[in-house]
Homo-oligomer: A and B are copies of this chain.
Amino acid sequence: MKVDDLLKFDANGLIVAVVQHAETGQVLMVGYMNQESLAITMRDRKACFWSRSRRKLWLKGETSGNFLRVQEIRTDCDADALVLKCYPDGPTCHTNETSCFYRLIDFEGTVTLSGDGVAKE
């Protein structure tokens, strides 16, 4: 089966994409792709997203140089989500944290910083 016949993009033409470090498994970020950014990702093997805030294609690393080199792309049973296993060229988060998920939420709802100690609130 071909990917274009399978994937279900949402009403905005987007699909959620989870980026995971290819070796450590750490979830680095979650972004959104449209059909074009996915095609670019597959062609160049660097993760390219659709920026919902800037409403444009966003080649991750185009400014920072911290590209996400894609090793593997997976989709799920519903074909409405992607997982990309990547080797990051540098910190993934714009804060310079390794991962965007540097905030821990405890079971009482308190949020604390729990990353590399780079990001500040």
A interface, CB within 8 angstroms of B: 1-4, 6, 16, 18, 20, 24-27, 29-30, 42-43, 45, 72-79, 81-83, 93-95, 97, 99-111, 114, 119, 121
Contact = CB atoms under 8 A, between A and B. Distances in A.
Contact of A77 (B43, B97, B111): B97
Given A16-B16, A18-B18, A72-B104, A110 B2 contact: yes
A25 B95 CA distance: 23
Contact of A4 (B30, B83, B109): B109
Of A27, A72, A110, chain B has the most CB atoms within 10 Å of the CB of A27
A95 B110 contact: no
Given A1-B111, A3-B110, A18-B18, A74 B105 contact: yes
B111 A6 contact: yes
